[in-house]
Structure formats: C-alpha cells, structure tokens
A and B are shown apart, each in its own frame.
Chain A
Amino acid sequence: MTTIQRMQWRVRVAQSWSLTLRRLTTIQPAKRDRLIGLLSPFVLMLLWEWAARAGLIDIRFFPAPSQIFGTFVKMAEDGTLWANTWASLQRLFWGALLGGIPALVLGVAMGLFRPLRAAIDPLVALTYPIPKSAILPLILLIFGLGEASKIVMVAIGVFYPICINATAGVLEINKIYLDVGRNFRATRWQTFRTVALPGALPFIMSGLKLGVGMGLILIAIAEMIGAKSGLGFMIWNAWEILAVEMMYIGLIMVALIGYLFNMLLTELEQVLIPWKADK
C-alpha cells in the first residue's frame, strides 16, 4: 500500500464509523436514551458476574448477581422478603401521613399568615439542620421499641421538606391571585382551598418527593435498632449472621421502593397539576 492508499483507507474507515454513529443518533433521541438507560445497569451486572466468576473480586463482599438472585428466589418463596418489605412500607405510609398532613397545613398557613411565619420560622430553621438519625435515641426513649418510634422517625423526615416547600410555594404565588380571593370575599378556609393549596401544589409535590426519600433513609436506620421486621432489620440481621446476599437484597429492595415511589409521585403530579402537565 502506498501512503496515499493508506490515507484513503483511513478516511473510509472513519467515514463508515461516523455513518454508524449518525444512524445511532438518528433513531430518535428519546428512544435511544431510554435504550441506553435500560442497557447500562444490565451491562454493569454482566461485568460484575464475570468479575466474580473470574475471581477478580472477593465474593465474600461482592457475591455474583446470580448468587444474589438465587437467595432472592428462596426468600421470596418462604415469604420473609415480602413480610419485611410490607412492614417497612406500612411504616413509611403511616409516617408519611402523620408527618405530611400537619406539615402541609402548617406550611401553607405559614405562607398565608405573616405572624405565624415569624413565630415558627426560627423553630424550623433551628431544628432542621439536626441530622434526623441523631434523634433516634430520643425517639426510642419516648416512644419505645415498638411501631410508634419507627413511624415517628419517618414522620419527622417527611415533615420538614413538605412544610418548608409549602411555605415557599405559597410565598411564590402571584399576589394578584390572593387579591382575587379577597375581592370575591373568600373566607380563610376558601382561600386556603382555592388559592393557597393549588397555587403551592407544584412546590408541595417536590417537597413530598424529597420527604419520601428522607423517610426511606430514616426507616432503614430506625429498623436496624430494636426492630424485628422491616428491610432495615433484614440488612442489619444479614450483617449479624454474615449473609451477604441477603444484605444486597435488602439494599436493592430499598432502592427499588425509592425508585418506584418517585415514579408514582411523578405520575401523581401529572394528575394533580394538569395545568402544568402539557406545556
């Protein structure tokens, strides 16, 4: 091959590459991104499996995915997995309710009434930075080792983001809408229901998402101490009996719950906020 021929050949290879790339990019950006998003965890799993079998990683800490899956099937069949997941979900639900509803009412009210905001704002600002997990001993002391302490922990985690976001959401509402309410003689309750709540809803929904994430963190921590059920308990128990696969299953379940809730809440957002849906 002459130098010129070699150069021509190189150019041709480069051209065919760029063509393939262009084809990949022309399939439709949204579809392509979803495909890549689905593939990447799968590819990682394959790599992990291969590395575990080839002895490149210590399977005492990183058991092969196939092994984890085996344990998963066993735990699903004997029901322990579902019992623990269900226990955590229930605590998450009641905690979100217990923390979320007062947070919503208080947050919106704080946005509407200046004196209330002046009174409560410093309290929120002062207690918010405390790591919620650091309150666990106190909560255990007050509410004991039963269900109540777990639910209260979740409630605390859910409370702050919703309360803070609801207040911010109401303050963000264009003043003209509050004027309309006043001109049409809306009572306090009517103003709350027809102006403040729907106006702040986009903020409240992102607060709820943050809150559920926080609740999930806290439920896992709370269940590690003095619980006999739940995913947190499962993870902690796995450490005590050195069942690494079980530990991974616990982590995966927590991740899945977080992911699903986020998806669910995004759906809910579309339903609850139709005026923002198709912009």
Chain B
Amino acid sequence: MNLVADVRPTEYEASAVSPAKIRINDLRKEFRAKAGKAFVALDGISVDIDAGTFFVIVGPSGCGKTTLLRILGGLEAPSSGSAVIRQSQPDKPLNSMVFQGDSIFPWMTVWDNAAYGLTLRNVPKGEIRDIVGHYLERTHLTKFAHAYPHQLSGGMRQRVSIARAFANDPEVLLMDEPFSALDEQNKTILQQELLRIWEEHKKTVLFITHSVDEAVTLGDKIMVMTAHPGRAKAVIDVPFARPRSVLELRSTPEYGELVYRIWGYLREEVQQARAEADGEK
C-alpha cells in the first residue's frame, strides 16, 4: 500500500480549474542585517492551498515559518513575489492568527479576549454572546470566562488564543506553533480539541510546527521547508481519514511510516540549521 500519495517538487503548478484559497507565488523576504547586508529569510516559495485544507508547514527553527505567516497575516510585506488569500465572503475577516507565544491581552478577561475580533467589528451583542459562548465551551473555558489570563495555566491561555481566532470567524486561520510551549499531555489533548473544532466548519488552516508528529496528526498536506534560506522542499499528502482520533492514529503502522518519511526530508535541514548556528558562535 502506498501511503504517501505524492511528493511534489517545489515548482508545483496549481490546477487552473478551481482557484486556490491561498496562493503563494515566488515569495521572497529579506531583512536588512546589521552590516547593511540583506538576510534572506524566505526565497522562491510557491504553493497553492485549496479551500478547506488543513495545511501544515514543518521546518527547522529559524527557517522563516513565522515570517511566512506574518506576511499572510498582513503584518509584514514581501520583498518580492506575492502571498494572497482569495476573499469569498466580503463581510468576513480574511484571516486570524494564533501567535507563537503568549498573545492574549492580560488586561481582558477570557471572555473579552475571545470576543475581541467580533467586538472590533461591532457585531450585535446577542450574536457575540452565542459565538463566544460556543467557542469557550468547545475549548472548555466556560467556567473561566471571567478570569484574567494571569489566573490561567499556559495551556488554558493557548486555548483562549485559539477561541479568539475561531470566534472571529475568518476565512483562513493562521496558526503559529500554538502548542509548542506545552507539555506532551496538554499538547495531545489540545490537538484533539483543535481537530474537533476544526471539523465543525473545515475552514482553510495554515498551521506551523516543528514537530513532525504534530504535522502528521493534524494535516491534510505537509510542506517541508529548507533551513536558511527558507524554501519549499516538498509537499506531502496525508491520506488518513477524518475525523481522526489522535491516539488511535498514532498507534497505526502507517502513521509511523509517514513520520519516518518526513523525517527523511527534514533531517539534513535540521543538521544544516544546527551547523549554521554552531558556525555563528
């Protein structure tokens, strides 16, 4: 049985029939380094992501994953090329980010944090109550609705961040290593919860991680990135059926095979990234 459906090269042509939800075309991002020299964070990235896809990007630390997400989130401008999200519902926000690290406002209660996007858009009060109530329930935070972030654990704060992004009802969700700071147990639980919430509407998700396990558990497609400068090394289909149970999936041999295969792509990149880091010392 061939589990890995196809491995596509970097120059991968999108089907012209249905336009992609996210289209990244020859994207390049440079930062100005100290000595006036340009530091290339991303180079020649082209990928199309279809609507409803749970798309995961894996890559070694510092390969430009966050930079790519920030460009899509409108927080950074590309140096050349483009990264666009196709808008299909003009009354909805294009994207919402779940940031790497703590990003919920310490000065707002859990409820106000989750309601942030809707409040900014002046959504009617009753509607906000329903939507926020729903997502707090899905993230098991109903009891903590009126607590402040400093009264929560790290895992709970990350749940608030996820509830905030989902409640905003964007066309695309951009998630930047939302679970990387959590312990193994919390991580597994939150991955399962995320899958369950995502199944409700199957929005397009761009999910970043440096955990291969997490990528295979969650994704429909996985893009492996090269270490500096960040390029797309391969895009791999994940054939596992949905809805998925995290623990059951992980006990299958097919899961292990795919993880091993992706590690194959990643290994040399991680080694290169580490060699570079050592070289800087």
Contact = CB atoms under 8 A, between A and B. Distances in A.
A195 interface: yes
A194 interface: yes
Contacts of B105: 177, 180, 194-195, 198
Nearest to A274: B148
B116 interface: yes
A80 interface: no
A187 B75 CA distance: 15
B73 A183 contact: yes
A183 B96 contact: yes
B93 A185 contact: yes
A19 to B, nearest CB: 42
A180 B120 contact: no
A53 interface: no
B55 interface: no
Nearest to A187: B120
A184 B116 contact: yes
B159 to A, nearest CB: 16
A187 B122 CA distance: 12
Contact of B103 (A180, A198, A199, A275): A180
A53 B95 CA distance: 80
A199 B103 CA distance: 13
A183 B97 contact: yes
Given A176-B99, A177-B103, A177-B105, A275 B149 contact: yes
Taking chain A's interface residues, is the majority helix, strand, or loop, or is none over half, making it mixed? helix
Nearest to B97: A183
A159 B149 CA distance: 32
Interface in A166-201: 176-177, 179-180, 182-187, 190, 194-195, 198-199, 201
B74 A182 contact: yes
Given A195-B105, A198-B105, A275-B107, A182 B150 contact: no
A279 interface: yes
A204 B99 CA distance: 28
Contacts of A190: 120
B77 to A, nearest CB: 13
Given A194-B116, A199-B107, A180 B99 contact: yes
B117 interface: yes
Interface residues of A, number: 20
A275 B102 contact: no
A276 to B, nearest CB: 8
Contact of B120 (A176, A184, A198, A273): A184
B147 to A, nearest CB: 10
Contacts of A179: 70, 75, 97, 99, 103
Contact of B102 (A176, A186, A194, A195): A176
Contact of B107 (A180, A183, A201): A201
Contacts of B101: 176
Contacts of B73: 183
A198 B99 contact: no
Contacts of B209: none
A58 B175 CA distance: 77
B46 to A, nearest CB: 24
A193 to B, nearest CB: 10
Contacts of A195: 105
B76 to A, nearest CB: 10
A184 B107 contact: no
Nearest to B95: A183
Contacts of A279: 150
Interface string A23-57: 00000000000000000000000000000000000
Contacts of B108: 194, 198, 275
Interface in B99-118: 99, 101-103, 105-108, 116-117
Nearest to B104: A180
A15 B127 CA distance: 72
B226 interface: no
B74 A183 contact: yes
Contacts of A194: 105, 108, 116, 120
Contact of B117 (A184, A187, A201): A184
B150 to A, nearest CB: 6
15 contacts: A176-B99, A176-B101, A177-B105, A179-B75, A180-B97, A180-B105, A182-B75, A183-B95, A184-B96, A184-B116, A186-B120, A187-B120, A194-B108, A198-B108, A274-B148
Given A185-B93, A185-B121, 10 more contacts: A176-B99, A179-B70, A179-B75, A179-B103, A183-B74, A183-B96, A194-B108, A194-B116, A201-B107, A279-B150
Interface of B: 70, 73-75, 93, 95-97, 99, 101-103, 105-108, 116-117, 120-121, 148-150, 168
Q: Which 7 A-B pairs have the closest CB atoms?
A: A198-B107, A275-B148, A183-B97, A184-B117, A176-B103, A275-B106, A275-B107
